[in-house]
Structure 1
Amino acid sequence: MTRTPTALVIGGTRFIGRHTVTEFREAGYEVYMLNRGTHENPFADADDVTHVTGDRTDRDALRDARDAADPDVVVDCVAYYPADVEAAVEVFADVDGYVYISSGSAYGREEIPKREGETPLCPCSDEQATDGSAETYGNRKAEGDRIVFEAAKRGVNAMSVRPCIVYGPYDYTERLDFWLDRVATYDRVLLPGDGDNVWHRAYVEDVARALRLVAERGDPGEAYNVGDRRLVTLREMVELIADVMDREIEIVAADGRELAAGDLEPDDYVLYREYPHVLDTCKLAALGWESTPLREAMERTVEEHRDSDRDGSEHDPGRDAEERVLGVLETM
């Protein structure tokens, strides 16, 4: 009798982890999840998903999950500090594949595109390694990568996946929800800059597929970028949202001087980035990975957004301020 393969997902209930559990289930795996149980479990009624309660920062909890699942592969969705990765590569040293979710933020130099093994990673000081601020996120992720690389030299089947900005159903960050709500609510949508800035994004189901493929086919000690194979500007993204929603909108771009009329700056807008952020995904594609067509990905994203109560309001620079900018632009 052929043994059913087992995957352990550290995390697993919210966004990337939730889609990763689904990806492994659909690929025929029995799935275990390790998390604290503080969020609703969408797989509570699934016969092929077992929840192990524990804190991933507790090494004993990692061991308990390992012993319960006897996993073939492990996907680590919530390793935010180097110490988390250090513990994981020790506890899961004997699995067929340990995959650490790093980030495109780990790259320490602005260049187009950013390539695995070529573009330098961010440094990470002892202070940054334990600092929980957003400013040190890339530093901490980069240090996790280096720990993975060193573990592979010791014979651990450890690999890294570096997503760029991830979007899709169940995105609790609400970054894209802000733009979805803008298009759904207003006939005139204000864009920062010229609207042509590029911040590489990755559809979440494609990220989950990448994690499985790397776990199954990746080379230990390697990192793999993941992002949409077709990049779009901010303007093109908003146009796609409008098309999927069947909305007729006017897109109005405003540079820094024009935004100042509403005491706004381009950086006040989520998913705006002055310098293009682009990841080379050829290495991942060589494993057989493909990305979902953009329209299809956006259709799924919009459908779930409409069923949710997310509106991205935490990212809102203020519609009253935008109206002042739009009023000034009308007189120019």
Structure 2
Amino acid sequence: MDTALIVGGTRFIGRHAVEEFLDAGYEVTIFTRGNRENPFADREGVEHVEGDRTNDSALALARERADPDVVIDCVAYHPRDVRAATEVFADCGAYVYVSSGAAYGREVVPKREGETPLHDCTPEQAADDSMDTYGPRKAEGDRAVLAAAERGVRATSVRPPVVYGPHDYTERFDYWIDRVLNHDRVIVPYTSLRHLAYVGDVASALRTVAEAGEAGAAYNVGDHTLPTLPEWVDLLAAEAGREVEVVRAGPRELSAGGVEPADFPLYRGYPHVLDTHRLEALGWEATPLAETVAATVEAHPDGAGREAGPDREAEERVLGVLETF
């Protein structure tokens, strides 16, 4: 039986990756610091190694304990993490780094692997922890993967955009579910097209790339179709059986509530679209939106995401202004 080591396997993408590899018949070991509840504590076929992934000795211990054929690295947030992991796991059958669509450094539609330039990353950015440097850090991690592949390591990367689905601790998508479930009128800022990726599809992409990906290559992953933000609200309302009016507002109207378009979760002024043909060529397929929306709405915890965007009082002020037009 094949074995998989998931570096970070208890929260979101990693949690779904564990399920994906278990369903495919792998024995799975998760490697975490042990700071959060382990949902697989009593699960047959899942072992847990506790340690800090920024400690190279701890990574080596995880390798020895798991003896993995496949390593899925869900929590490499700095280039050093990727460089260390590709050294420690150099002899494994596959190392897959969870990168990000934010690694792309040019706004074009769509963004293509090997064609669209990545962000540069300075030494200062590489060591930073802020969201301002997230894209550059992920891009430098991708370059570390390529360098490892040139040394003979079967290292690859997967680049998702914003990910949604059950167990999403960011609550960005949950904000819109909460609005749909609790309000008849939902404000959506004008013009927003952002590629999203269902978490189950990211997990299946990780396994697909581990089993069939080309060393040194990066693979975009995302939903097969791209609803606009108002269309997402309509999809959520249909799934929840709610009649919801989508109220579109521009910067001038939103200013009445003291908010800006960027204050709304998932808003993006310039379209963010990833070309997924390279991944699809490996046999990967995205889950239909009807299924992803149903699973995400069903898993939505009551009240989750309510504070992830503008408060309702500010939205009510905007609605009041719109009614005077």
Distance (whole Å) between structure 1 residues aligned to residue 212 and residue 195 of structure 2: 25
Aligned pair in 2 of structure 1 residues 21, 316: CA closer, same or farther (>3 Å)? same
Distance (whole Å) between structure 2 residues aligned to residue 199 and residue 118 of structure 1: 20
TM-score (structure 1 length as normaliser): 0.97
Distance (whole Å) between structure 2 residues aligned to residue 238 and residue 61 of structure 1: 44
Q: Which residue of 2 aligns with 1:113?
A: 110
Q: Which amino acid aligns with 1:300?
A: A
Deviations 1:160-207 (CA, angstroms, capped at 9, x unpaired): 0000110000000000010000000100000112xx410100000000
Q: Residues 54-203 of structure 1: matches in 2 within 5 Å?
A: 54-193=51-190, 196-203=191-198
**Paired residues of 2:179 and 2:306 also in contact (CA < 8 A):** no
Q: Which residue of 2 aligns with 1:219?
A: 214
Q: Which residue of 2 aligns with 1:50?
A: 47
Residue 245 of structure 2 is aligned to residue 283 of structure 1: no
Q: Which amino acid aligns with 1:216?
A: E
Distance (whole Å) between structure 1 residues aligned to residue 306 and residue 44 of structure 2: 37
Q: Which amino acid aligns with 1:317?
A: P
Distance (whole Å) between structure 1 residues aligned to residue 313 and residue 43 of structure 2: 46
Distance (whole Å) between structure 1 residues aligned to residue 168 and residue 62 of structure 2: 26
Residue 324 of structure 2 is aligned to residue 327 of structure 1: no
C-alpha deviation, 1:238, in angstroms? 0.4
C-alpha deviation, 1:313, in angstroms? 2.8
Q: Which amino acid aligns with 2:197?
A: A
Q: Which residue of 1 aligns with 2:264?
A: 269
**Paired residues of 1:124 and 1:139 also in contact (CA < 8 A):** yes
Please identify, of 5-14 and 257-266, the stretch whose mean Cα deviation from structure 2 is larger: 257-266
Please identify, of 229-238 and 308-317, the stretch whose mean Cα deviation from structure 2 is larger: 308-317
Distance (whole Å) between structure 1 residues aligned to residue 232 and residue 46 of structure 2: 35
Distance (whole Å) between structure 1 residues aligned to residue 278 and residue 261 of structure 2: 33
C-alpha deviation, 1:309, in angstroms? 4.4
The root-mean-square deviation of aligned C-alpha atoms, in Å, is 0.7
Aligned to 1:304, which of 283, 299, 302?
299
Aligned pair in 2 of structure 1 residues 107, 246: CA closer, same or farther (>3 Å)? same
Structure 1: runs of 5 or more not aligned: none
Distance (whole Å) between structure 2 residues aligned to residue 261 and residue 78 of structure 1: 40
Q: Which residue of 2 aligns with 1:210?
A: 205
What secondary structure sits across from 1:19 in the alignment?
helix
Percent identical: 63
TM-score (structure 2 length as normaliser): 0.99
Distance (whole Å) between structure 2 residues aligned to residue 38 and residue 160 of structure 1: 26
Distance (whole Å) between structure 1 residues aligned to residue 85 and residue 202 of structure 2: 21
Q: Which amino acid aligns with 1:150?
A: A
Q: Which amino acid aligns with 2:320?
A: G
Please identify, of 281-290 and 258-267, the stretch whose mean Cα deviation from structure 2 is larger: 258-267
C-alpha deviation, 1:47, in angstroms? 1.6
What secondary structure sits across from 1:314 in the alignment?
coil
What secondary structure sits across from 1:50 in the alignment?
strand
Aligned to 1:313, which of 284, 302, 306?
306
Q: Residues 1-80 of structure 1: matches in 2 within 5 Å?
A: 4-80=1-77
Q: Which residue of 1 aligns with 2:253?
A: 258
Q: Which amino acid aligns with 1:105?
A: A
Distance (whole Å) between structure 1 residues aligned to residue 103 and residue 54 of structure 2: 21
Q: Which residue of 1 aligns with 2:231?
A: 236
Distance (whole Å) between structure 2 residues aligned to residue 176 and residue 78 of structure 1: 21
**Paired residues of 1:168 and 1:203 also in contact (CA < 8 A):** yes
C-alpha deviation, 1:261, in angstroms? 1.1
4+ aligned runs moved over 4 Å, structure 1? none
Q: Which residue of 2 aligns with 1:295?
A: 290
**Paired residues of 1:174 and 1:310 also in contact (CA < 8 A):** no
Distance (whole Å) between structure 2 residues aligned to residue 181 and residue 108 of structure 1: 33
